[in-house]
Structure 1
Amino acid sequence: MLLFASALSTTLPALAQEMPTTLPPTPAIGAEVVRQPWSDPLESLGTLKANESVILSATVTEIISTINFEGGEQVKQGDVLVRLDDTQEEADLRSAQALRQERQNAVNRLTQLQSRNLAPRADVEDSRAQLQQVEADIQSLEALLANYTIRAPFDGVVGVRRVSVGTLITPGTELATLDDVSSMKLDFQVPEVRLGVLSQGLPLNATTTAYPDQVFEGEIATIDSRVDPVSRSIQVRAVLDNSAGVLKPGMLMRVTIARSPREALVIPESAVVPQGQRKRVWVITDTEQGTIEQRDIEVGSRREGEVEVTAGLEAGELVVTHGADRLHSAATIQLLGMEDEDTSVSDILQSQRSGEGN
């Protein structure tokens, strides 16, 4: 027994000398606590409409004589798009204009005679009434002729034409569409419980799968005066700038309304370590020594990949975002890099692998 104790006493100091006094640092990636604009997003789906939109059609039955567009052109208000055959109406107008000249001459003659007491006043008044009747007929014919010329009611883009020269059209026949797409109306539904946070002028962002890398900015222009009693939602209309001309009527868009805009402390969501009801982060206290401390924080709202911190951190502090699952109170870290808007985790890891390879 004494021999075993003696051997053990001589072995333990040797083992203690061979064991490392400290554990190697844990590789980790960090991020800075930053202050940036923040809001509580309210999301919905909406459908785009042109700022102004109309289906071009005629109000008379006639044959098309001229079409001045092919489709897709930008036109100005008043541009002639389609002409109908108005040969008969033009002849009727010329006839009426000739009759007006005849009646005008009759009025002039009778007026001169009446001034010399050679014609009764009643004849003068009758001739003037006949002249007025002809002028009314001319105005009616001119108004009718205007229906034979279809003009652009506003600036816009003409859609695909539906007819050809020589087609006999009737009132209501669709010739083409005309859309003012310089700006777009975006209609969407919001639950009535969110009505209190809506107001005209509230900014929003909209995205579409057609252009996944683009964010279109706009603002709320109109809030409907009634809540739908079936869906318990209210219709909201926003206006988006479309000076680039990429948005088209009928497109589906995802709407994100920025509620309660404010400045907030923000960290990557990966930095938060849940422990029951508590939320904690590992704070890097010294980047050179790799020392860390665990700290309780309070969080607010979240958005994709980020979380708002309402208490427990200050702007400019550094937190561990990757590698926290291997940390403990006695651990130190080897900071591989800092992730931010310009540097992703994959960039840091790729740079680390490249450095090890060299």
Structure 2
Amino acid sequence: MKKISLTIVSLVLLVACGKKNEEQAAPPVMPYKVVQVAPSSTTLLAEYPTTLEGVTDIDIRAKVDGYIEEIYVQEGQEVRAGQVLFKLETQTADQDAAAAKAKVTAAQVEVNRLKPLVDRNIISDVQLETAKANLAGAKSTYQGIIAKINYASIKSPVNGIVGTLPLRIGSYVSSQTAEPLTRISDISTIYAYFSVNEKQQLDIMMNGEGKSFQDKISKLPNVNLLLSNGSPYDQKGKIETFSGQANSSTGSFNVRARFPNPNRLLRSGGSGTIQIPTDLQDVILIPQNATLELQDKRIVLVTDKENKVKAIPVEVRPVPGGRYFVVDKGLNVGDKILVEGVGIVAEGTLIKPELVDNSTIMKEQESK
């Protein structure tokens, strides 16, 4: 009997010790901050690389053959319509013009001589008509040479800015010269050209106001321009046109936006980034640092009814500023997500959630 009693006592002690060890080994439930998902509003900025061009970009070419005798402008100079840019050598043309003018004079003398003879019926009018034809031909030749001399003074057809000057005084040019003398760009207004894919084009049009396609374009919000150095341009732009059909090779649509350029800061050939704003209402916003990127998936940690952590994949879009995501799929209003211990707390861990107000989290994000 004593042996049985000792055995029972030993078993009781072992069970008691086991429970005590289990209690000692159980990890403590740690507190972590969570926020409850609520609807919010924000503005997204879709970005597209863009190239800049003036309202008009005109290649300046010679209409006649000749050597460049004078260059009257500098690269980057602002010029007016009709201003002389280049002058070609005209020595040979001047000599041809003098000879042609002499022929005009001689032909006119012949006409003047024959006219009274015809009037008195001394000769037939055939000779006079022939003389008049010779006079007309001489005048035409002379006027052609004068036009050639005038074309030797190459003028700007528009107001604008002078581009590069690849040729120098003494260079021979003609109407067939491949490289233009320069390019004049009217940059009082700048066109920004960029491309959007079919899905993006549909999103823009389906979310836009208006009935007709053109009406929707006219009511699109103003767009922003980021310059190549990352600085925002201080003028807003307006989308004016979409191409009538998608590019068969790329599936994209060409888009043109217009920007005023009063200070001539923007130049043809420049580049930048177009930003198209989209206002969103009643969407879910979460801090970016409340998410994990795992195997090309974005993960959010939520708490269930038992306060255990569960990993949820989500689909998100970044909000400008780099602090928040708009959640398109994966979360519902009322869900509680971890904003503390993300990347440390494992899935299935029991926690003690400390509910934090959304406005507090936003202030913390903005202060960083």
Q: TM-score range by the shorter chain?
A: 0.5 to 0.7
Q: Which residue of 1 aligns with 2:27?
A: none
1:185 to 183, 188, 191: 191
Report the TM-score, using the length of structure 2 for normalisation: 0.61
Consecutive unaligned residues of structure 1, counting only runs of 5 or more, are: 1-32, 279-299, 313-322, 347-358
Structure 1 residue 238: Cα displacement: 1.8
2:237 to 199, 218, 233: 218
Consecutive unaligned residues of structure 2, counting only runs of 5 or more, are: 1-38, 206-212, 291-299, 305-315, 342-351
1:156 to 151, 154, 160: 160
Q: Which has the higher strand share?
A: 1
Q: Which amino acid aligns with 2:70?
A: T
Q: Which amino acid aligns with 1:135?
A: K
CA distance in 2 between counterparts of 1:251 and 1:332 reads 47
Structure 1 residue 81: Cα displacement: 0.9
CA distance in 1 between counterparts of 2:289 and 2:165 reads 58
Q: Kindly report which structure 2 residues correspond to 1:208-287, keeping only aligned pairs within 5 A, or say none.
A: 208-258=227-277, 264=281, 270=287, 276=302
CA distance in 2 between counterparts of 1:217 and 1:266 reads 27
Contact 2:287–2:325 under 8 Å retained in 1: no
1:44-90 Cα deviation digits (max 9, x unpaired): 21211232223433344422211101222101111111111101112
1:168-220 Cα deviation digits (max 9, x unpaired): 34541443332222222211111122333345433322212325243542122
1:155-177 Cα deviation digits (max 9, x unpaired): 11112322332333454144333
CA distance in 2 between counterparts of 1:237 and 1:331 reads 48
Q: Which residue of 2 aligns with 1:303?
A: 319
Q: Sort the Cα spacing of 1:85 and 1:265 in 2 relative to 1 into closer, same or farther, 3 A.
A: same
RMSD, aligned α-carbons: 4.4
CA distance in 1 between counterparts of 2:183 and 2:73 reads 12
Contact 1:220–1:237 under 8 Å retained in 2: yes
Contact 1:267–1:306 under 8 Å retained in 2: no
The 10-residue stretch of structure 1 (95-104 or 69-78) with the greater mean CA deviation from structure 2: 95-104
Q: Sort the Cα spacing of 1:121 and 1:266 in 2 relative to 1 into closer, same or farther, 3 A.
A: same
Q: Which residue of 2 aligns with 1:121?
A: 125
Contact 1:185–1:238 under 8 Å retained in 2: yes
1:257-307 Cα deviation digits (max 9, x unpaired): 24xx669579985599977499xxxxxxxxxxxxxxxxxxxxx98632568
1:16-69 Cα deviation digits (max 9, x unpaired): xxxxxxxxxxxxxxxxx9989x5x544321211232223433344422211101
Contact 2:163–2:183 under 8 Å retained in 1: yes
